Amino acid sequence: MATVTADSAIAQKIEQIEHAGENEAEGIKVRVLPMNEGLAYYKFTYLILRDVRIVFAPPKNIGFFGGDPDNFEWPRHDGDFTFMRAYVGQNGKPAEYATGNVPFKPKKFLHKILLKSALFYSKNFSRCRVNKSPQWIKRSNR
pLDDT at site 14:
94
pLDDT computed for residue 97 by the predictor: 95
Find the DSSP H helices in the chain: 2-21, 60-63, 112-119, 133-140
Whether 124 has a pLDDT exceeding 80, the answer reads no
- pLDDT digit string, tens, across residues 21-70: 999 888 899 999 998 888 889 999 999 999 999 998 888 777 766 666 66
How large is the average pLDDT for residues 83-104? 93
Residue 119, CA distances (Å) to 17, 59, 114 in order = 34, 21, 9
Average pLDDT value for residue range 133-139: 61
Q: Look at residue 95 and give its three-state secondary structure.
A: coil
pTM of the model: 0.62
Of 98-102, 104-108, 124-128, give the lowest mean pLDDT range.
124-128
Count the alpha carbons within 13 Å of 100 in the hemisphere toward its beta carbon: 6
CB 79 within 8 A of CB 62: yes
pLDDT, mean of residues 87-108: 92
Looking at the predicted structure, is the pLDDT value of residue 117 above 80? no
Average model confidence (pLDDT) for the chain?
78
